[in-house]
Amino acid sequence: MTEHPDNDEQVSAQGRATKGWAEEAPTALLVLADGTVIEGRGAGAVGHAVGEVCFNTAMTGYQEILTDPSYAGQIITFTFPHIGNVGANNEDIETTNLAASSGVRGCVLRTEITQPSNYRASQGFDDWLKARGIIALTGVDTRALTGLIREKGMLNAVIAHAPDGRFDLDALKREAAACPAMLGLDLAKDVTCGQSYDWDETEWQWGDGYGRGGAARFHVVAIDYGLKRNILRELATAGCRLTIVPATATAEEILERKPDGVFLSNGPGDPAATGVYAVPEIKKLVESGLPLFGICLGHQMLGLALGGTTRKMHQGHHGANHPVKDFTTAKVEITSMNHGFAVDRDSLPETVEETHVSLFDGSNAGLKVKGKPVFSVQYHPEASPGPQDSHYLFGRFVDCMEQAKERSED
C-alpha cells in the first residue's frame, strides 16, 4: 500500500522511477476513500468503478460469489490466493437477472490469473471478467488489505485498470471520496427482475447437471430483491412450483396468485432503504397467515416489518465458514454468509423469537414469529458456494406449507 501526495495528477512509469517505486508500471489501482492507494496488475475489464470494499473468506466458488446480486455496489477482496485457476462456465452463475449482470464493481486478488485447470471450464477467468465488465486488481497483499478493512471497516474506493499504466490519481481520489455510503442505498431495484416468470430447475447432480421439477404440491411466490438461482433450485427440489415477482410487487398482486407460501429473497443495499416500499407489503403478507420464509435482505426486512431495526456492520460477514447455532435444535451449522447489515435483536418485540445466532460475533442470524408460520435466517442455506448444513431450512418451509394446507383441507 502506498500513500501518494495529493498533488500527483498522474501516475506514470517515469513518475514511479523518480519516486523510487517499482520499475514495472502498475496497470491497476485501488484508491480508497481515506487516500490509501494500492497498486497491482490489471485484469478483466478496462476502466474504473466505485464501490464499497469488503473481503470474502471462501476458498471455492468465486464465480458464484461474483454473480451474487447481494454484492451489487461492492468490490470484493478474496482472501484465498488462487482465484481463477478453475476458469469459468455458464452453469455457475447465480444472478437470475442476466440483463442487470450481478452489480459487483470489481475484485482484488493475491496472485495473477492463470490458465484454467478444470474439466468444467469453458472459458478463462480473465476473459470471463472482461465479458461481464468486471475490473480486477491482481498481485495485491490481500492479507494487509483485509487487516485494513477489519481496522477501519468497509471503505469506499475506486478500482481502476489502465493497460498503459497512466492514471489521474487526483480525480480517482475525488471520485472515491464522493462515492455514496452503502447506508441509505436501495440497490434491490437495480438487480430485481423486470417482470414475473416461472421456475422449475432443480439442484445440480454429478453427471446429470441441473434437472427439472415434476408435479409440485406447493406453489411459492418468491419476491426478487436480488435472487440467487440456487435458492430457487433448492425450493424446486423440495417440491415447489415457483413464480418470481419483482421487488416492487404488492401484497395484493402476490395474494392474487393464490400461493401456498411466500419467499423473501436475498439482495444488496440497506434494508431500511428498500424497506420503504417493501416493508408495508411484507406486513400485509405476515398478516395474511401464509407461510413465509426469508433470507439475508429478506430476513432483515422481515425484522423491520415485525417492528425491529437494522444496523450497519463494521466489516460485515462474507464467507462460507461461518458457525451459527440453531436454538430450535441446539445444533451448530457451518454456513455461507454475505451481508453488511444485521437485525438488532434488542429491537425485536416479544412476539418474535430469536432462532439463530452467529458464533463469530453474537449477531442475530435468525428469527420466527410466535404462533405463525413465519421465519427467516440471515445466512444463505442454499450454500452456493458453501457447506450444505442448512438445507434443512427448505424442508422446514415445506413443512409449514404442508401443515397450512392440511388445516385448510379439514
Tell me the residue range of the domain where 321 lies: 188-409
3-class secondary structure for 41-110? EEEECCEEEEEEEEEECCCCCHHHHHCCHHHCCEEEEECCCCCCCCCECCCCCCECCHHHCCCCCEEECC
Angstrom distance (rounded) from CA 197 to CA 200: 10
Residue 183 lies in a domain: no
Q: Is residue 195 part of a domain?
A: yes
Mean pLDDT value of segment 295-311:
98
174, 218: one domain: no
Name residues whose C-beta falls within 8 Å of residue 99's C-beta, 6 or more positions apart in sequence. 194
Task: Provide the H-helix boundaries in 192-344.
Answer: 229-237, 251-255, 271-288, 297-305
Query: 8 CB contacts (<8 Å, ≥6 apart)?
Result: 15, 169, 170
Percent of the residues in the chain that have a pLDDT greater than 90, as a whole number: 89
In the predicted model, what is the mean pLDDT of residues 35-46?
97
User: What is the number of residues in the chain?
Assistant: 410
The answer as to whether 215 is a domain residue is yes
**In this predicted structure, what is the pLDDT of residue 108?**
98
Please determine, for residue 338, whether its predicted confidence score (pLDDT) is greater than 80: yes
Residue 261 near residue 397, CB atoms below 8 Å: yes
Report in angstroms the alpha-carbon separations of 384 from 54, 55, 229, 239.
18, 17, 9, 20
Q: Distance (Å, rounded) from C-alpha 59 to C-alpha 80?
A: 6
Whether the per-residue pLDDT at 91 is higher than 50: the answer is: yes
pLDDT of residue 102: 65
Per-residue pLDDT at 18 exceeds 50:
no
In a domain, 61, yes or no: yes
What CA–CA distance (Å, rounded) separates 313 from 154?
Answer: 9
Q: Is residue 125 part of a domain?
A: yes
Q: Which three cell numbers stand for residue 29?
A: 489501482
Write down the pLDDT at residue 12. 33
Q: Percent of the chain beyond pLDDT 70?
A: 93
* Residue 3 pLDDT greater than 60, yes or no: no
Average pLDDT over residues 288-302: 98
Mean residue pLDDT of the chain comes to: 93
Q: Are residue 97 and residue 121 in the same domain, yes or no?
A: yes
**What is the number of domains present in the chain?**
2
Residues annotated as catalytic are 296, 380, 382
Closest by alpha carbon to 267, among 336, 192, 194, 319? 192
253 and 347 both lie in a single domain = yes
CATH number of the structural domain spanning residue 40: 3.50.30.20
Residues 38 and 163 in one domain: yes
State how far the Cα of 390 lies from the Cα of 212, in Å rounded to an integer: 22
pLDDT at 407: 87
Torsions phi, psi for 93 (to 5 deg): -100, 130
Across 276-301, average pLDDT: 98
Q: Among 19-28, 69-78, 117-126, which is the least confidently predicted range?
A: 19-28
**Digit-coded pLDDT (tens) for 245-279:** 999 999 999 999 999 999 999 999 999 999 999 99
Last residue of a domain, one of 178, 199, 222: 178
Q: Are residues 145 and 280 in the same domain?
A: no
| Residue 378 binned pLDDT confidence (cut-offs 50, 70, 90) | very high
Q: Provide mean pLDDT across the span 355-382.
A: 98
Q: What is the DSSP letter of 330?
A: T
Mark whether 126 and 241 lie in a shared domain. Answer: no
**Single residue among 178, 202, 228 that ends a domain in this structure:** 178
Could you say which of 178, 207, 229 is where a domain stops? 178
Confidence of residue 100 (pLDDT cuts 50, 70, 90): low
**Is residue 308, in this structure, part of any structural domain at all?**
yes
CA separation for the pair 214, 174 (Å, rounded)? 55
Q: Say yes or no: 370 and 222 in one domain.
A: yes
Give yes or no: residues 198 and 149 share one domain: no
**What pLDDT score was predicted for residue 101?**
59
Sign of CA dihedral 130, 188, 74, 116: negative
Whether residue 275 sits in one domain with residue 141: no
Cross-strand bridge partners of residue 138: 41
Shared-domain flag, residues 220 and 362? yes
Same-domain pairing of 174 and 203 = no
CATH number, residue 292: 3.40.50.880
What pTM was estimated for this model as a whole? 0.93
Handedness of CA 17, 22, 27, 33 (dihedral sign): negative
CA distance 175 to 162: 16
Gap between the Cα atoms of 138 and 225, Å rounded: 31
User: Which stretch of 21-25, 86-90, 292-296, 394-398 has the lowest confidence by average pLDDT?
Assistant: 21-25
Residue 49 has pLDDT above 60, yes or no: yes
Q: What is the pLDDT of residues 160-217, one digit of tens each?
A: 999 999 999 999 999 999 999 999 999 999 999 999 999 999 999 888 989 999 889 9
How would residue 408 be classed by pLDDT, with cut points 50, 70 and 90?
confident
| Residue of 390, 330, 392 whose CA lies nearest to 355 | 330
Q: What is the pLDDT of residues 209-218, one digit of tens each?
A: 899 998 899 9
Enter the C-alpha cell of residue 264. Answer: 423473501
Instruction: For residues 155 and 267, state if they share a domain.
Output: no
